[in-house]
Structure 1
Amino acid sequence: MKHRWGTIVLAWALVLALLSTGAAVPGTVQAADPPAGYVLSYFGGVPYDDSLHLAYSTDGLNWTALNGNQPVFRPAIGTKHMRDPYVGRKQDGTFVLLGTDNWNSEYIMVYDSADLIRWTNGRLVRMNTNAMHTWAPEFFWDAAKGQYGIIWSGNTDRNRTYVNYTPDFKTVTAPSVYYDPGYDVIDSHIHPWNGTNYLFFKDERSTGTTPKSILAARSASLTPGSFSVYTGAITETGTEGPFVIKSRSENRWYLYADYYSRGGVFGAWTTTDLGSGAWTKLASGTFTLPAGVRHATAFEVSQSELDRLKAAKWGPYRLQSHNYPDRYIRHSGETMRIDANVAPLEDSQYRIVPGLADPKAVSFESVNQPGTYLRHYNYVLKQQANDGSAAFKGDATFTMTAGLADGAKVSLRSYNYPDRYIRHYNYELVLQPVTTATDKADATFSLVYP
């Protein structure tokens, strides 16, 4: 079920050309406005969460998490745990979210959205009746059929890529084998270019010349069974969930894959010729992704769509003390404390927004006093209005890390005093260095919904 996703939306003129040749258009049509960047969908994050996360990039290399790397949407159907989230654009310009529901489920999760912010019409769609798992679903538009093809990884005696066709993501045809090179494969991802459909996949075998690595096949059509392998291993052993995007500035492509045993570490490779099968690994530091990313995919968005996502305020959240779990961070005037039985509840609710001093970090905006933020002053935490100064922005920006006392929770490191963390002391919030076990417990919090 692994981690993967990806597809890039092409310029409208190219879409028309592809449709005329019967090529795949993953995520389908282009946004109405010219593309201005990419959006990454993934699960994981810090702390780990089986829900939809989003990030954005303007160059396809450096990605900034939205909502402070916290979930932007949690499903309320099935197991309520969504893995391998895939977001694609339909022919009408709206979006569909697909996700793996469970390790051994015959169903996938499906949601609809017009704006990538509000997800509605949640439903479980049964993809097979053979007790196969349905991992890592993606979809493409098949112009010849006038329907969407949903591809996914299923298993009988071994894993293959299957397809169901649908006009509406509600009713689907019976599954059929879409891609089977004769050995165990998962995590298929289609990327069309210049009349050819390229299918990237994971060799799931544990032995052989390309075990647990990413390869590619290609076809001039979308016909099931028409793809042929044309590369050796593109990535190292221990990778899965590939997705591919094209640079918007040149004929260059980037392939990302998840080092699935490393807990949210990705590798990236590049080529200037998809047909050659030759890829070069990018050095660490030449690309950045949010911490904890698992099984991702990406698609293009317009400037207006990107601006709307960057301005969105998900949440709100409460910060629950690790070692005093009946107490939550709250404001009382400008004073910041941890208290039990907070009233009104909104005094303990915050929206996580891109860091005022650095969008890769986070700031905490009060729900009931919008425009005011959690900030430190003389190493004491306060809630104050943003005065627009560089000093305020630095004081109100924090790096969210894995919890110092519990890695499934979070700790908040000061942006401008990176040797100090938010911790409680006598129930009040202060900014201090953290060394002892007590310090670490005091500086660890759970992010919870109200």
Structure 2
Amino acid sequence: MIRRLLVLVLATAACVAGLPASQAIATPAVRNTNPIAERRADPHIFKHTDGYYYFTATVPEYDRIILRRATTIQGLATAAETVIWRKHASGEMGAHIWAPEIHFINGKWYVYFTAGRRDDIWRIRMYVLESSSANPVTGSWTERGRITTPWDTFSLDASTFVTNGVRYLTWAQQEPGISTGSNLYVARMGATPWTITGAVTRLTVPTLAWETRGHKVAEGPTVLQRNGRLFLTYSASATDANYCLGMLTASATADPLNAASWTKSPDPVFASNDATSQYGPGHNSFTVSEDGRSDVMVYHDRNYRDINGDPLNDPNRRTRVQKVYYKADGTPDFGIPVADGPTPVRLKSYNSDSFVRHWEFRARLEANVAPLADSQFKVVPGLAGSGAVSFESTNFPGYYLRHRDNELWVQRNDGTALFHNDASFTQRPGLAANSALSYESLNFPGRYLRHTNGLMYLQTPADAQARADATFVLE
């Protein structure tokens, strides 16, 4: 179910999105600017009860674990970064320091991470750090050692979640007798946050075409719990442009240790996109928006497709975020990796559960939009200036919502003054509610974006019905 967001009056958020403060009548609760961090892969963001977001990620040197904190997700972009641990000079934990995750468990902080040996960098195993400090950025850390699994083999990407009062560990590992790079597993956590107990369940093996491009890999598992279900996303294929996200789904009341509880999505749920120039999105985690109303996906990708040599030696994976939407059946819709810059929004009708979308470039109003990106627009400074705003299509960058003969279309910016004027709108308090928004034509004052009979027009709202039809909430 798509959940309506509280619209906040925040001038600062408008400035983040590149809009003048004078136009900050109302902005959505989730609006960020990507990337959040350059040269930071396998990102993990944890929102704690102290009001801070904690961020850690793989650094391209693979030699240390870093931590940042801020009171907002966007604030992590400029937050000071502290090294909380460095690789060993010899032996275990001496190379390939990968994929740290930070969690708060039973009153203490824990960082799960992956490491190789100094004398055998591909002897990859999972390890844990512990801190009892209130502030893990400045506190001291203790090595709690390796997480032991049934096989002494290549293992990585430990993550933890709680469901029905029980804490579990999920991870990726190479199992003897299976010719893959890694599969996904889950087990109940033991007496400490660095041990497991009882049966280990194999959740999935990469066999599908999109899971086996370059390498047969399933890795980076993480769990999102919503709408009575567990959604376990994971990364598949080689770490170049083939990298993508898959998903397993289970009922929240099912036994997560029963492999039959989980259903694999037949297609990737998040993948490279040429239109937005985002490639190899993967190794994600989930956090929540500042108001707690929206789930936010955190992931890395590159903004170019071609890589020279081993992708592991390319340092330019960046941390990015975008809001998670939900389909009518309650399953997440991650859409596409959006273009760099301000994250897009959806214009939701004030008087119906429908959204502005383009269909064969005609703008219309529709519920349950598929693909999601057809209903996502980047709100940018108006092409014609004058403190206005313009709406750029998410899946057709360079195309903007514009009026033509009082109809609304999504068309390519041709650079003319006429197009710039037709695609620029003054953001006003909602004609039907000040908590919402309305958009007045810059070059035809008094006419507003308005839906009628399922299509979008530019019209003068003459009555209460028309004013409601010309009022929108940004989500």
Would the alpha carbon gap of residues 66 and 277 (structure 1) be closer, same or farther in structure 2, given more than 3 Å must change? farther
Tell me what 2:126 maps to: 161
Higher relative contact order (CA 8 A, sep 6+): 1
Would the alpha carbon gap of residues 270 and 111 (structure 1) be closer, same or farther in structure 2, given more than 3 Å must change? same
Would the alpha carbon gap of residues 240 and 37 (structure 1) be closer, same or farther in structure 2, given more than 3 Å must change? farther
Would the alpha carbon gap of residues 201 and 121 (structure 1) be closer, same or farther in structure 2, given more than 3 Å must change? same
Tell me what 1:225 maps to: 195
Q: Give the conservation status (yes or no) of the 8 Å contact 2:47–2:288.
A: no
CA distance in 2, matches of 1:230, 1:37: 39
**C-alpha displacement of 1:264:** 3.7
CA distance in 2, matches of 1:369, 1:169: 46
The gaps in structure 1 that reach 5 residues or longer are 1-34, 39-64, 76-80, 311-349, 396-450
Counterpart amino acid of 1:282? Answer: S
Map of 1:15-54 to 2, 5 A cutoff?
none
Aligned match of 1:276 in 258, 261, 264? 258
Q: Give the conservation status (yes or no) of the 8 Å contact 1:37–1:301.
A: no
CA distance in 2, matches of 1:207, 1:383: 62
Aligned match of 1:297 in 279, 285, 310? 285
**C-alpha displacement of 1:234:** 1.9
Would the alpha carbon gap of residues 218 and 306 (structure 1) be closer, same or farther in structure 2, given more than 3 Å must change? closer
CA distance in 2, matches of 1:212, 1:176: 24
Q: Residue 137 in 1 paired to residue 105 in 2?
A: no
CA distance in 1, matches of 2:342, 2:115: 39
What TM-score, normalized to structure 2?
A: 0.51
Would the alpha carbon gap of residues 213 and 110 (structure 1) be closer, same or farther in structure 2, given more than 3 Å must change? same
Deviations 1:62-89, CA, capped at 9 Å, x for gaps: xxx965xx724235xxxxx100110002
Greater shift, 380-389 or 89-98, is seen at 380-389
Would the alpha carbon gap of residues 219 and 284 (structure 1) be closer, same or farther in structure 2, given more than 3 Å must change? same
Deviations 1:2-60, CA, capped at 9 Å, x for gaps: xxxxxxxxxxxxxxxxxxxxxxxxxxxxxxxxx9799xxxxxxxxxxxxxxxxxxxxxx
**C-alpha displacement of 1:270:** 1.4
Tell me what 1:117 maps to: 74
Aligned-residue Cα RMSD (Å) equals 3.8
Work out the number of aligned pairs and report it: 282
Deviations 1:131-160, CA, capped at 9 Å, x for gaps: 3332111122232xx320111001124222
**C-alpha displacement of 1:205:** 6.1
CA distance in 2, matches of 1:152, 1:217: 17
The gaps in structure 2 that reach 5 residues or longer are 6-29, 207-215, 274-278, 298-340, 348-355, 358-371, 391-397, 405-410, 426-440, 442-447, 458-475
Tell me what 2:10 maps to: none
Tell me what 2:211 maps to: none
Deviations 1:242-292, CA, capped at 9 Å, x for gaps: 11122x332x2111111132624221111222132332212338x567844
Aligned match of 2:161 in 175, 187, 191? 191
Aligned match of 1:152 in 91, 107, 113? 113
Would the alpha carbon gap of residues 127 and 150 (structure 1) be closer, same or farther in structure 2, given more than 3 Å must change? farther
Q: Share of identical aligned residues, percent?
A: 15
CA distance in 1, matches of 2:342, 2:167: 42
Would the alpha carbon gap of residues 142 and 127 (structure 1) be closer, same or farther in structure 2, given more than 3 Å must change? farther
Greater shift, 132-141 or 358-367, is seen at 358-367
Q: Give the conservation status (yes or no) of the 8 Å contact 2:343–2:378.
A: yes
Tell me what 1:354 maps to: 345
Tell me what 1:19 maps to: none
Would the alpha carbon gap of residues 353 and 140 (structure 1) be closer, same or farther in structure 2, given more than 3 Å must change? closer
Map of 1:336-415 to 2, 5 A cutoff?
353-354=344-345, 357-358=356-357, 360=373, 361-363=376-378, 365-366=380-381, 369-373=386-390, 375=400, 380-381=414-415, 382-384=419-421, 385-386=424-425, 387=441, 388-389=448-449
Give secondary structure in 1 for the equivalent of 2:87. coil
